[in-house]
Amino acid sequence: MSEDALFHTEVVNDKGLEGEAYVKDGLRVLISSPLSPDEGSNPEELLGLSWSTCLNSTIQALLKGRSKQDKSKVEVHVDFKREPNGIGYYFTLAAFVSIENHTIEETTKVMHAAHKRCPVSKIIGSYEHVSLQAVPFER
């Protein structure tokens, strides 16, 4: 672990899409291919969980910084697609963001500010298959 790290984890996958991946001394996740009927999670689901959690917690931090207690929700859709040339695969990522008591315009501003700050969004970077959309808040 580097001296300046606020948190450090070590995650291992030594079986690919069959078996389990695990956090050393922690969480264990059964893994399977998204194209398999077998039980288990897959990279698409794990990426969606990671991004939705990070983006929503960043939104919550921004709201708290503005002394707002409004609820927020981030729903991420991840699609696994074949490259148009038939060789290889890629993901599309779509985030749908809603914030209680906020208009679509207000939500859009907070969403984009959070996307610039969220560490997972920074990993995603300017990936061409990413979209964000503000939607009305529903309980």
Going by C-alpha positions, the residue among 75, 35, 30 that lies closest to residue 51 is: 75
- State the Cα–Cα distance between residues 16 and 133, nearest whole angstrom: 33
The domains of the chain, with CATH numbers, are 1-41 (2.20.25), 43-134 (3.30.300.20)
pLDDT of 139 reads: 78
- State the Cα–Cα distance between residues 138 and 108, nearest whole angstrom: 16
Query: Are 62 and 114 spatial neighbours (Cβ–Cβ below 8 Å)?
Result: yes
pTM: 0.92
Helix (H, G, I), strand (E, B) or coil at 18: coil
The pLDDT tens digits of the residues spanning 61-92 come to 999 999 999 999 999 999 999 999 999 999 99
Query: Are 22 and 12 spatial neighbours (Cβ–Cβ below 8 Å)?
Result: yes
Residues of the chain with pLDDT under 70: 1
- State the Cα–Cα distance between residues 119 and 111, nearest whole angstrom: 14
